[in-house]
């Protein structure tokens, strides 16, 4: 009964000061809404258990490196590591799989489409604890080189291609240019480690694509095996192999078990947690601001509190009343925060859907609603406890002694100084990210991106297993594309500027130690450099005569010359790559790429080798087309839409089983390459703006003026000017703001000195 009386009284008191109440509710709603939106992302990506039975028993094998600069994990494993785990890790039910997906061409019932494929080993679905809805999964006999061409469909591809035909098992489908047999369909809610429309056997080897180093190993701890026991055993069985690799004595290397969720979210964990910490700072700022506003409000109610105490009211009752008022604010702020959080989640989905595959799972479900409710309650109580204690402790004879007023004012001023310092710290972080993003956008691309259309397609196809067949397709397609109205020039490139290149090895011809170095490599057709207008610095471009019957040649970029050749003779020099020596015939300018090795930055101009598509070995082409989809590159002078339609028609005519996967402009490629940095910069900038908006200067100033109203009135009555009174009233706020800015700048300098701006780079596995 007393609670409902206090509740109704709290509503009346809040209505008496609508402006302050509105600011309190808005501040609380903004803080809770921002935290709700970010927590939804954190929950979906890092906290929510994987959608498999007993997810806490699922592991991923990683290689942990520890040295003078700290420690880190490599999630990629070799075929040799897999053989050791498969044959000796009897404490695990393990499976190997590819941690990435690749595009392939799929045809069924007369319909050809580009789909995403993931390659997995035998037992992959069993380890995850999910059985096919229809049919079965791969066996070990099938998951080996020379095994049968079979596939398992996703539920959505099954519905799309076969209309949900329950008798689909055993039916044929054209996949990767050859007939495959469908052996199963996964359930509708099955979520693999990557977005996939179908799965095929991985068939792992120790000498496969990437020399067998691009694998991932998942497992499930067997009953009775603890995490500590499993970790010790994986370290023991991996030690001989690690020792044989002869790492530097300064680096400690071992195999280790991490949770499957940790392994799958390795690249997201740090940036997402940074954003969560940033929004946590906003919450702290909001709490401090709400506290300041409540203190200001309490300062105007000291006579009311003193009167209630004089009439026999207890301090506990006053404290209880003020806590109830905080609960009313929590309800109102929580509802508003939920609405803001819903809008924030929608915005985050639109902003990050290309970067976070799991962002589609972000939603305001019961877990998030519960966190929102607890957050609203916690925030309002945390912010309201101190004002409630202070207000209930009012002196009946003298509401505030001069000494007590000074003490309380300084405690509140320090609170506001802390708010400003945290807000400035956030602002500095956002400024660094925005400056970095602006720098990346200002980088010279190294070519002319205007009017360039890119059409990607998959050649992971059994019909294109030789260089001759691949280049026949390129020549036939380019001949027709160049004849299209509005086309200035056309070429083919394995990868393009702003994309990640293939990493490959080379050595200098004649080196006694046969030392190999890592560089980027890209095959291109003649006119590739002319189409993109990449400048020629020395030598010549590729010619149509640079074919399989002519001497092998290559072109290097300036970054390669600077890193690997120095002052050596460049034109005419020979390098050994792809099992053959090649002569350098030209040097071209650098273009911006996503790095696949070395520096952990979003864009750079890496050392790159270019080889003619017509001189690429058969085995090389077959291997790289598993990981990379080549591109038609067209410079258009006419309507982009008509040119795109023309390219689609050409692709259908030369080979209807090789459809266009997607069209892009170069601006699209650049935007996609910087999407992660743009996401972080915009989000942190929004949080910084929010932090500055809710800093409690208003609460401090209104409180100060309320407490000094009598003093200021007496000073004016004794002859002080209004301007002097305003200046004296505003001075504390200005000084505290300056103090907060200085403190925030010092914190920012300390943070910047310890590490680079968060989100500057992004890890690659």
Judge whether 561 lies within some domain.
Answer: yes
pLDDT tier at 759 (50, 70, 90 boundaries)?
very low
422, two tokens: 């945290």
Distance (Å) of CA 742 to CA 421, 442, 572, 758: 7, 31, 60, 22
Q: Tell me: the pLDDT tens digits for 1-18?
A: 566 776 676 677 777 777
Judge whether 16 lies within some domain.
Answer: no
Q: Are residues 612 and 752 in the same domain?
A: no
Scanning 43-78, the segments in alpha helix (DSSP H) are none
Predicted confidence at residue 480, as pLDDT, reads: 95
Range of the domain at 77: 55-266
- What's the count of helices (H) and strands (E) in the chain, helices before strands? 22, 23
Residue 755, pLDDT > 60, answer no
Q: Are residues 495 and 631 in the same domain?
A: yes
Rounded CA-CA distance 340/34 in Å is 7
Residue 399, pLDDT > 50, answer no
Judge whether 437 lies within some domain.
Answer: yes
Q: Are residues 129 and 237 in the same domain?
A: yes
Q: Tell me: the pLDDT tens digits for 618-661?
A: 888 888 898 899 999 999 987 788 899 999 999 999 999 999 99
Q: Which of 201, 236, 266 is where one domain is finished?
A: 266
Residue 292, pLDDT > 90, answer no
Distance (Å) of CA 401 to CA 394, 567, 715: 10, 81, 19
Q: Are residues 654 and 688 in the same domain?
A: no
Higher per-residue confidence, 431 vs 233:
233
Residue 508, pLDDT > 60, answer yes
Judge whether 34 lies within some domain.
Answer: no
Beta bridge partners of 259: 59
Q: Are residues 65 and 193 in the same domain?
A: yes
Q: Are residues 620 and 749 in the same domain?
A: no
Q: Are residues 151 and 259 in the same domain?
A: yes
Judge whether 526 lies within some domain.
Answer: yes
Q: Are residues 701 and 590 in the same domain?
A: no
161-175, 351-365, 710-724, 728-742, range with greatest mean pLDDT: 161-175
Q: Are residues 645 and 700 in the same domain?
A: no
End-to-end CA distance of the chain: give it in Å, rounded: 62
Judge whether 576 lies within some domain.
Answer: yes
Higher per-residue confidence, 561 vs 425:
561
Q: Are residues 103 and 128 in the same domain?
A: yes
Rounded CA-CA distance 235/237 in Å is 6
Judge whether 360 lies within some domain.
Answer: no
Residue 558, pLDDT > 90, answer yes
Helix (H) or strand (E) segment spanning residue 583: strand 580-588
Q: Which of 660, 692, 723 is where one domain is finished?
A: 660
Structural domains counted in the chain: 3
Contact 752, 720 (CB under 8 A): no
What is the 8-class DSSP label of residue 638?
A: S
Predicted confidence at residue 401, as pLDDT, reads: 44
Q: Are residues 576 and 656 in the same domain?
A: yes
Q: Which of 266, 282, 300 is where one domain is finished?
A: 266
Judge whether 480 lies within some domain.
Answer: yes
Q: Are residues 711 and 740 in the same domain?
A: yes
Predicted confidence at residue 701, as pLDDT, reads: 63
């Amino acid at each position: 009964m007393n609670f409902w009386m206090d509740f109704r009284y709290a509503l009346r008191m809040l209505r008496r000061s609508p402006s302050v109440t509105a600011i309190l509710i808005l501040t609380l709603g903004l803080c809770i809404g921002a935290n709700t939106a970010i927590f939804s992302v954190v929950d979906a990506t890092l906290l929510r258990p994987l959608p498999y039975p007993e997810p806490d028993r699922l592991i991923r094998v990683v290689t942990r490196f520890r040295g003078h600069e700290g420690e880190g994990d490599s999630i990629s494993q070799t075929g040799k590591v897999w053989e050791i785990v498969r044959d000796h890790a009897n404490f695990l039910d393990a499976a190997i799989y590819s941690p990435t997906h690749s595009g392939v061409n799929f045809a069924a019932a007369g319909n050809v489409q580009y789909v995403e494929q993931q390659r997995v080993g035998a037992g992959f679905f069993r380890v995850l604890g999910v059985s096919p809805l229809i049919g079965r999964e791969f066996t070990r006999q099938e998951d080996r080189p020379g095994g049968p061409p079979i596939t398992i469909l996703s539920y959505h591809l099954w519905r799309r291609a076969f209309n949900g035909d329950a008798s689909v098992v055993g039916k044929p489908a054209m996949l990767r240019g050859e007939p495959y047999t469908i052996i199963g369909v996964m359930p509708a809610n099955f979520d693999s480690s990557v977005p996939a429309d179908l799965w095929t056997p991985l068939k792992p080897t120790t000498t496969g694509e990437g020399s067998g180093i691009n694998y991932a190993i998942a497992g499930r701890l067997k009953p009775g095996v603890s995490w500590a026991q499993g970790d010790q055993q994986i370290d023991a069985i991996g030690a001989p192999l690690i020792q044989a690799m002869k790492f530097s004595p300064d680096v400690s290397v071992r195999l280790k078990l991490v949770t499957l969720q940790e392994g799958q979210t390795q690249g997201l964990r740090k940036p997402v947690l940074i954003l969560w910490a940033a929004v946590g700072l906003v919450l702290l700022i909001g709490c401090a601001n709400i506290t300041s506003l409540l203190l200001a409000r309490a300062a105007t109610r000291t006579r009311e509190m003193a009167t209630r105490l004089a009439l026999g009211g207890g301090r506990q009752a006053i404290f209880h009343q003020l806590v109830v008022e905080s609960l009313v604010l929590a309800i109102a702020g929580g509802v508003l925060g939920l609405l803001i959080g819903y809008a924030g989640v929608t915005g985050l989905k639109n902003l990050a859907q290309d970067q976070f595959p799991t962002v589609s799972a972000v939603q305001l479900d019961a877990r998030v609603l519960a966190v929102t409710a607890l957050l609203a309650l916690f925030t309002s109580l945390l912010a309201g406890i101190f004002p409630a204690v202070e207000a209930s402790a009012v002196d009946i004879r003298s509401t505030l002694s001069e000494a007590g007023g000074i003490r309380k004012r300084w405690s509140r001023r320090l609170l506001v100084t802390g708010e400003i310092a945290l807000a400035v710290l956030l602002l500095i972080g956002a400024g660094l990210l925005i400056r970095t993003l602006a720098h990346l956008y200002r980088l010279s691309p190294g070519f002319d991106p205007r009017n360039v259309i890119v059409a990607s397609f998959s050649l992971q196809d059994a019909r294109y297993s030789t260089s001759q067949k691949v280049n026949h397709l390129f020549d036939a397609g380019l001949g027709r594309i160049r004849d299209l109205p509005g086309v200035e020039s056309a070429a083919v490139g394995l990868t393009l500027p702003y994309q990640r290149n293939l990493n490959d090895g080379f050595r200098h011809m004649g080196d006694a130690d046969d030392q190999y170095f890592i560089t980027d490599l890209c095959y291109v057709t003649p006119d590739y450099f002319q189409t993109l207008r990449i400048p020629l610095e020395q030598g010549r471009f590729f010619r149509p005569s640079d074919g399989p019957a002519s001497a092998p040649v290559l072109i290097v970029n300036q970054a390669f010359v600077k890193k690997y050749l120095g002052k050596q003779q460049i034109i005419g020099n020979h390098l050994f790559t792809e099992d053959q020596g090649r002569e350098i015939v030209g040097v071209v300018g650098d273009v911006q790429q996503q790095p696949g090795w070395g520096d952990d930055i979003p864009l750079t101009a890496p050392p790159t080798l270019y080889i003619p598509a017509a001189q690429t070995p058969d085995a090389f082409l077959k291997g790289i087309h598993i990981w990379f989809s080549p591109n038609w590159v067209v410079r258009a002078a006419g309507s982009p839409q008509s040119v795109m339609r023309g390219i689609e028609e050409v692709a259908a005519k030369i080979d209807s089983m090789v459809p266009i996967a997607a069209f892009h402009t170069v601006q699209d490629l650049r935007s996609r390459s910087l999407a992660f940095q743009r996401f972080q910069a915009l989000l942190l900038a929004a949080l910084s703006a929010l932090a500055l908006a809710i800093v409690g200067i208003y609460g401090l100033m209104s409180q100060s003026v309320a407490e000094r109203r009598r003093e200021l009135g007496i000073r004016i009555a004794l002859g002080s000017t209004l301007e002097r009174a305003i200046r004296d009233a505003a001075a504390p706020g200005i000084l505290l703001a300056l103090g907060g800015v200085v403190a925030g700048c010092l914190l920012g300098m300390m943070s910047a000195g310890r590490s680079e701006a968060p989100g500057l780079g992004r890890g690659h596995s």
